[in-house]
Amino acid sequence: MPSEDRSNRHIIGDARDLLNDGWDLLMVAHPPCTRLCNSGVRWLGERNLWAELDEAAALFSAFWNAPIERICIENPVMHKHAKARIVNYQPFAQSVQPWQFGHGETKRTCFWLKNLPPLVPTNVVDGREQRVFRMVPGPDRWKERSRFYPGIAAAMADQWGGYAEEACTVAGLDLV
């Protein structure tokens, strides 16, 4: 999908086509969670969404098994059918809440981590609004529910950015 800000630093296409391009820093992946997450498991049989589950699990598997040294995959808690379909599945390493990173909301987010330490909360704030859970139905509900919190992204950059600097130093490159 195109980026909302029309950035020219956004690749449109299937990320799997890029996973073997020699990435040497780290990858943070945000695959669609609609068919993988616990909250949607009831619809699999009722609406016959098994093929969509298989595709979602294949994408998660491609990210998890990519030839990249450090990986973080963000998703909610998964149901047993998703876990069974993911190649080399391992339980998530950490779960965080937006209120731990400056946003007064609840929305449990899990991280599957490979060669990365868990994030340390940076700005614990009051407020435990369930904004995402209580969103009214509408055409953009899926997009609003899937937004990633800037405070968590900033913590990733601050706490994991050193790995990029380290890789560049070892390779004799300047990090711009």
Mean pLDDT score of the chain, rounded to an integer?
87
Q: Is the pLDDT of residue 52 over 90?
A: yes
- Evaluate whether residue 95 is within a structural domain: yes
Q: What pLDDT digit, counting tens, does each position of 82-97 carry?
A: 999 999 999 999 999 9
Q: Does residue 73 fall inside a structural domain?
A: yes
How crowded is the C-beta side of 133, counted as CA atoms within 13 Å?
10
In-domain check, residue 176: no
Any domain includes 96: yes
The structure tokens listed for 28 are 């943070």
pLDDT value of residue 1:
74
Is residue 67 within 8 A of residue 19, CB to CB? The reply is yes
Give the residue carrying structure tokens 């609840």.
Answer: 106
Structural domain for 117, as ranges: 23-171
Give the neighbor-by-neighbor strand order of the sheet with 109-114: 27-29, 71-75, 109-114, 94-96
Closest CA to 73 of 41, 127, 30, 38: 30
The CA distance from 103 to 97, in Å, is 9
Residue 1 lies in a domain: no
